[in-house]
Amino acid sequence: MDAKIACRSVWKLYGRDPEGFLAAHGGAPPDDAIEADGYIPAVRHASLEVFPGEILVIMGLSGSGKSTLVRCLSRLIEPTAGEVLFDGQDLLKIPARELIEIRRHKMGMVFQHFALLPHRTVLQNVAFPLEVQGVDRATRENRALEIIELVGLKGRERYYPRELSGGQQQRVGIARSLAVEPDVWFLDEPFSALDPLIRREMQDEFLRLQTMLQKTIAFITHDFDEAIRLADRIAIMNEGRIVQIGTPEELVTRPTDDYVANFTRDVAREKLLTIASVMEAPTDGQPLSDSVVRRTDRVADVARMIVTSEVPLRVADDDDRIVGVVSRTRILDVLFSRESGAGG
């Protein structure tokens, strides 16, 4: 499958003459040279791909370059070097007029602080992207009304942003970004400014929308729990670099370095890990239970069954073949975070 949107070796340096500096070092300057010459590296040599219908979460602490990277993908920020491919076409090479057209029809973005226009009603805010395209009033307002209903704000169309709560304002932000039915959806820490209960509710709402709409999504967050909840894959960034890209389970079971391991340490593994990642190879003559678990089961769902059994259980794959065994000690290790269940 071809990536919907991808970037290759993207750099973003701030300083006196970033292009010249990069060129002088053959496009890949060493860290000490960057520091010595007084350049500030926001993004270093970042490559990633987002496939159609996938949620890629870009995770990192503040200052890690995640916002800059996602703005490079939409060319809100001009990368210093690299390629940004949208449907295989390099966004950095197309003329401004064409870029505006792509933004008008194929991209939507949600912002951390909502970025609503204070002088416009909910309806006018949502209709705004259609308005700048020149869509006539009746059409765009009908379309906006549909989306407002979709995000659960029916009845508030005539309200102004300041008359709404934070959660409601972000629903408007989401509705606005969806008004043009974009293919690619950028969300820049959309729920970070909300309090925890609302945040959870909005995450559910987001997942509900995504099951209906199947957009290609780049989602930024600094909250690892949020990343795990929402992501198909996660890209972890640190000091402008992408340190690891993988499914949540891969990150937990096989962190590439201590930085990633630090994030994954406090994760509730049993909800994340599948039996496949904790099972062992069967040894001969070992007494086994009659019960069978599937390799795709989550640990949390079958833990009770395994822990209450004196002897290990058998693990079956999708074709009902036995591919391994899982013992209560392995499960207890996962539950009490003794050690990551490296294996499977």
Partner 1 sequence: MAEAAVPSGELAVRRWVAGSGQSGLRVAAFLLAPFVFVLLLGPWLPDWLRAVPEAWSAPFVGWINVIVGVLRTEEIFGLLTFRDMSRAIANLIDYPLDFVEAILVAGFSDSVPGLPWIAVTGLAIVLGWYLQGRQLGIIAGVCFAYMAIFGKWELSMVTLSVVLVAAPVAGAIGVALGILAYKRRWFETLLWPVLNVMQALPHFSYMIPVAIFIGIGHKAGTIATIIFAFPVMARLTILGLKGVSPEVREAGIMAGCTGRQMLWKVELPAARPTLMVGVNQVIMLCLAMVVLASFVGAKGLGHDLLNRLRSLWIGQALEIGVVIVFMAIILDRLSQAWARKEPEHMREGPFHVRHPFLTAGAAVVAVSYILAAFIPALQLWPKSLSITTAPMWDALIDYIIVYAFDYLELIKATLLVHVLIPMRDLYLLLPWSALLVFAVTLGWYYGGWKVAGIQALFALYLAFAGFWERTLITAYMVSFAVIVCVIFGSIVGIWAASGPRRTKIVELILDTFQTFPSFIYLIPAIMLFNVNDFAAIMAIVIYATIPTTRLTIFGLRTVPHDIVEAAITSGCTPRQVLWKVRMPLAFPAIMLGINQTIMYALFMVVIAAFIGTTDLGQEIFRSKADNNAGKSLVVGLCVACMGLIADQLINAWARERRKVLGLA
- Shortest distance (Å) from residue 128 CB to partner 1: 6
CB proximity list for 243: less than 8 A, separation 6 or greater:
236, 237, 256, 257, 259, 260
Structure token digits, residue 111: 């912002």
The distance of closest approach from Cβ of residue 117 to partner 1 in the complex, given in angstroms and rounded to an integer, is 6
Note the residue count of the chain.
Answer: 344
Using the rule CB under 8 A, is 222 a contact of partner 1?
no
Look at residues 218, 188, 217 and name the one whose alpha carbon lies nearest to residue 110. Answer: 188
Of 49-57, 131-139, 252-260, 263-271: span binding partner 1 (CB under 8 A) = 131-139
Residue 107, SS3? strand
The nearest distance, CB 188 to partner 1, in angstroms, is 8
Q: Does 169 bind partner 1 (CB under 8 A)?
A: no
Which parts of 111-239 are beta strand (E)?
A: 184-188, 216-221, 233-238
Closest of 22, 56, 2 to residue 221, by C-alpha: 56
Q: Is 221 in the site for partner 1 (CB under 8 A)?
A: no
Q: Which of 132, 292, 311, 332 binds partner 1 (CB under 8 A)?
A: 132
Q: Of the two residues 76 and 150, which places its CB atom closer to partner 1 in the complex?
A: 76
Part of the chain binding partner 1 (CB under 8 A), chosen from 52-60, 84-92, 121-129, 325-333:
121-129
Inter-helix orientation angle 166-178/122-133, to 10°: 20
Stretch 171-210: interaction string toward partner 1, x if CB under 8 A: -----xx--------x------------------------
Residue 129 interacts with partner 1 (CB under 8 A): yes or no: yes
CB of 156 to partner 1, least distance (A): 9
Binding mask 97-116 for partner 1 (x = CB under 8 A): ---xx-xxx-xxx-xxxxxx
Q: Which of 84, 302 has the CB closer to partner 1?
A: 84
Between 136 and 284, whose beta carbon lies closer to partner 1?
136
Rounded to 10 degrees, what is the CA torsion of 225, 229, 235, 236?
Answer: 0
Least distance (Å) between residue 300 CB and partner 1 = 38
Kindly state the smallest distance separating residue 169's Cβ from partner 1, in Å. 12
Give the C-alpha separation, 273 to 188, whole Å: 27
- DSSP output for 239-300: TTEEEEEE-HHHHHHS-SSHHHHHHHTTS-HHHH-BGGGT-BPPPTT----S-EEETTSBHH
For partner 1, the closer CB: 145 or 261? 145
Token reading at 121: 């009603």
Phi-psi region of 48 (alpha: psi -120 to 50; beta: other; left: phi over 0): beta
Instruction: Give the number of C-alpha atoms closer than 13 A to the C-alpha of residue 104, restricted to the C-beta side.
Output: 12
Give me 109's structure tokens.
Answer: 């973005």
Stretch that binds partner 1, among 130-138, 203-211, 235-243, 265-273 (CB under 8 A): 130-138
Interaction of residue 95 with partner 1, rule CB under 8 A: no
Can residue 259 be called a binding residue for partner 1 (CB under 8 A)?
no
Check binding of 128 to partner 1 (CB under 8 A).
Answer: yes
Residues that bind partner 1 (CB under 8 A): 71, 74, 76, 100-101, 103-105, 107-109, 111-121, 128-129, 131-133, 158-160, 162-163, 176-177, 186
